[in-house]
Amino acid sequence: MSSSSSPPALRLSLRSFWAVLPREGKWLLSTTAIQLLGRGLTLPFTVIYLHEVRGISLDVAGTLMAWIFVVGVLATGPGGAATDRFGARAVSLFGSSCQLVGVAILAVAHTVPQAAAAMTLMGVSGITWPAFNALVASIVQGSIRQTYFGISFALVNLGIGVGGIIAGAFVDVHRPSTFTTIYLLDAASMLIPIGLLLGPLRHIHGRAERPDDTDGQPASYWRIARQPSVAWLLLLTFIATFVGYGQMEAGFPAFARQVSGASTRAIGWAFAANTAVIVLCQFVVLRRIEGHRRTRVLVVMAVVWATAWLTLGATGLAPATMAATAGVILFHAFFGFGETMLQPTVPAITNDLAPDHLRGRYNALSAAAFQGGGIVGPVVAGVMLDHHLGSAFITMLLVGCGVVAVLAMALERRISPVVNGIRPSSPSTYAKGAERAHDDRAAH
């Protein structure tokens, strides 16, 4: 990674970051792990719950899971426009309420229509993601925004990881009430963000008025997405998600079981290693990447992920051995390390590119690209691994990592140094934030 010729940016300690973080940002960050604890209780067990507890066939259960993402993609566009029109707070409240009701319905669902209704509401709640990012960006300004996104990601993983451990020791398919309990607790956890938005953050609407110097034309998604900087960023996000998260929950477990011969326990330990690496390394990585070009960070991430996929591919040379088990766990350690570079940078670039009055639409486009990669990835993995094309599968992902690196360098030529994370070195950089580059914004 290399930085510009400008003075190196100040590197924050955790204490100094907390000191300059606005009060509203402290409210959001301090509750992240707790509210995600509920999500962690249910995330690993939904398919098991639908199939083994409620008696829904695996193919229908899988379709219901996919339906969440389909609805999420469909809701992203209207959600982004609503964020810009009504404010990120209002949309976050609506999305969180949909999640609460959806998960509560799922807790007592016994039929496919009931489960489908629950999944639909949970899919609609996907509008919360871009709205919440827009809300954060309206509160947290300047270089600390990248730090905030990174620390928040670590806390999300901490909450989900701890929740998964607790639920794994508690649920029992022979006692359906244990699953009802964790889903009701998941629903109740949504009262935390709702309470924040109705209480301490009720004055933060997350909406900006259209500047007087715009051309007056409608701010369509097409006009935003056709900007070279945005187009390259969206393509990079899609490919990175395809080779990353799109494979983590489908391609990786299938390869580990069919090709590596790993046990389900080893796969569980691999996910635990992923969470541990993220929680332990995220702030260290944030301090290392501060003052460096975000696009160069993404190139390093692509190299780390390529190493991860090579490691997993090598386990196929000695399947069902201790070496293969170690390789499966090491894969997720590498993968988690790469995540600590992806999660702070892409949201920060997106929100530094976005004019205040269009922040909802920019984040919605980013979310759609992310969800698109998450939908296509498992489909491709399923087809290839079902046809025993394990080597071709790994090769495809290695090529994909190379494409991510190329796209990152192409993006670097189309965004300003400020958007790319290079800011003047001064205390006010963190306390007040730095101005955004006008040449990276469309005149809407």
**Which pLDDT value is given to residue 348?**
92
**Which pLDDT value is given to residue 374?**
82
**Which pLDDT value is given to residue 191?**
95
Fold match between 12-199 and 223-426? yes
322 CB-side CA count, 13 A: 0
Q: Are 233 and 353 in contact, with CB atoms under 8 Å apart? A: yes
> Under 8 Å CB-to-CB from 202, ≥6 apart: which residues?
89
Task: Give the residue from 192, 252, 229, 213 showing the smallest Cα distance to 378.
Answer: 252
- With 0-12 CB in 10 A as exposed, 13-18 as middle and 19+ as buried, what is 441? buried
Instruction: Give the C-alpha separation, 110 to 2, whole Å.
Output: 56
Q: Provide the residue ranges of all domains of the chain, joining segments of one domain with +.
A: 12-199, 223-426
Q: What's the CATH class of domain 223-426?
A: mainly alpha
Instruction: Give the C-alpha separation, 358 to 80, whole Å.
Output: 9
What is the widest separation between alpha-carbon atoms in the chain? 66
**How far is residue 81 from each of residues 72, 126, 224, 356, 359, measured CA to CA in Å?**
15, 14, 12, 13, 9
Go through the chain and tell me how many residues it has. 444
The CATH code of the domain at 12-199 is 1.20.1250.20
Averaged over successive runs of 10 residues, the pLDDT of the chain (444 residues) comes to 39 77 90 86 82 86 82 89 90 95 96 96 91 87 84 88 84 90 95 93 74 59 93 97 86 87 83 90 91 95 98 95 95 96 94 89 92 85 87 97 98 94 58 40 42
**How far is residue 246 from each of residues 8, 238, 250, 266, 347, measured CA to CA in Å?**
35, 10, 7, 20, 18
